Amino acid sequence: MKKIEIISNQAIEADIIEILELAGYGESLTYLHPVYGRGGNGWREGSAVWPETNVMFLVYLDKGNEEQIMEDLKKLKEKFPNEGIKAWLIECELESI
């Protein structure tokens, strides 16, 4: 099983949701908002000084299309080069209860 973790600026949240929905994960994702942190584009705290926030997606991938999702995320980064976006594809063992 593979898992993808995505952290991005809230400005491209809808674009990421669209990528995941088109890949068949519209009904099976975890999404956290707001997420605070600091990256190459500065702080995201949702405060008066640093007003923007991030979002985070956690998706367990079981459809064999993880490389396409990563490619679509790379294209999104190219489309919005000034918006922070990072994605990690992680091999994992899944044990559910």
* Cα–Cα distance measured from residue 88 to residue 3, given in angstroms and rounded to the nearest whole number: 8
End-to-end CA distance of the chain: 16
Q: Transcribe the chain into DSSP letters.
A: -EEEEEEEEGGGHHHHHHHHHHTT-TTS-EEEEEE-EEETTEEE-SSSSS---EEEEEEEE-SS-HHHHHHHHHHHHHHSTTS-EEEEEEE------
- CATH number (domain holding residue 20): 3.30.70.120
Q: Is the pTM of this model over 0.95?
A: no
Domain count, the chain: 1
**Residue 76 is assigned to a structural domain of this protein:** yes
pLDDT tens, 34-85? 998 877 777 787 777 778 899 999 999 999 999 999 999 999 999 999 888 9
Range of the domain at 39: 2-91
**Residue 21 is assigned to a structural domain of this protein:** yes
**Residue 97 is assigned to a structural domain of this protein:** no
**Residue 32 is assigned to a structural domain of this protein:** yes
pLDDT tens, 24-33? 998 888 999 9
**Residue 96 is assigned to a structural domain of this protein:** no
